[in-house]
Amino acid sequence: MLQAGGGEPVVLLHGALGMAEDMALGLFSALATNRRAIAVDRPGHGFSRRERFASSPMRQAEQIRAGLQQLGVQRAVMLAHSIGAPVALAYARAWPGEVAGLVLLAPLVYPELRPLEHTYLSPRAAPWVGPLMSQAAHGSVDPGVLPLIQKTMFSPQKIPEYWARGFPHEQVRQPERMTANGEDAADMPALAQLAISYRTIATSTVILSGDKDAVVNPNRHARALVQALPNARLEMLPGLGHMIHHFAQDRIRAVVDEVSGT
């Protein structure tokens, strides 16, 4: 968990193959000017821990809430990227009075067949053999494959130099972290169960998606979600891909102010 700035809190939740540093590198400089920005390692990622098979958005939200309460955070804007978005939505569904607003960036919020994740990551969720697969891949497959995935994640933009230097690549590649990514990718039933309840989440929400996103199809996720949520709007960002928090910081800061009413 990383923090910067002061004022009303905004909690940042990262996506797949990420950790708190991804959100901090992208958004702290913009958000910490007038807010207390808190970037969280989702449970099982970065330096956080979780039990095996505790990957559901609700279980992650419960663990994050416990950590925020220890920091004295009673109410915050939840800003989430990609597969972090279901965690923010689960949080808002369970504790609506504690969420000042939702900002969802390139959200992945509905179950679907995802060939890369379900062939490369999901097998690591298997009981017993999954962690062994992550151990074996750590020194063989992952060092070559992950940089290619990262290029796709940033496409059509290039990976920023500050991110290439400052992101903790080796921590993300740790076998336990890759197993957690596998469990996240494999837990489509939990995502389907959560999706049924989206119409009950009345929190003020803004969804931002890049119209060149090659990782998460905005038509299947962002556009469908804005139709399901009762108090949401969608803004498409022209020319941007999946990692919009590294290229639209000023717009994201304005949207955080919008959903919180400041």
CB 93 within 8 A of CB 83: no
Section 122-150 average pLDDT: 96
Tell me the pLDDT band of 261, cut-offs 50, 70 and 90: confident
Give me the DSSP letters along 57-93.
HHHHHHHHHHHHHHTT--SEEEEEEGGGHHHHHHHHH
| Residue among 12, 45, 18, 48 nearest 31 (CA) | 12
Percent of the chain with pLDDT over 70: 100
In the structure, what pLDDT confidence band is assigned to residue 44 with cuts at 50, 70 and 90? Answer: very high
* Model pLDDT, residue 259: 95
- For residue 9, pLDDT over 90 is answered with yes
Checking if the pLDDT of 228 tops 90, the result is: yes
Confidence band of 226 (pLDDT split at 50, 70, 90):
very high
pLDDT at 151 over 90: yes
9-13 vs 76-81, strand pairing mode: parallel
Q: What is the mean pLDDT of residues 124-141?
A: 96
Mean pLDDT confidence for 224-250: 98
For 195, other C-beta atoms within 10 Å of its C-beta total 17
Contact indicator for 113, 89 with CB cutoff of 8 Å: no
Cα(77)–Cα(260) distance, integer angstroms: 7
Q: What is the pTM of this model?
A: 0.97
Q: What is the mean pLDDT of the chain?
A: 97
Q: Is residue 16 pLDDT above 80, yes or no?
A: yes
CA-wise closest residue to 181 among 113, 122, 104: 122
Question: All domains of the chain, ordered by start, with CATH?
Answer: 2-260 (3.40.50.1820)
Place of tokens 């808190």: 38
Distance separating the N- and C-terminal Cα atoms of the chain: 25
Report the pLDDT value the prediction gives residue 237, as an integer from 0 to 100.
98
Kindly tell me if the per-residue pLDDT of 262 is higher than 80. no
Distance CA 14, CA 141 (A): 23
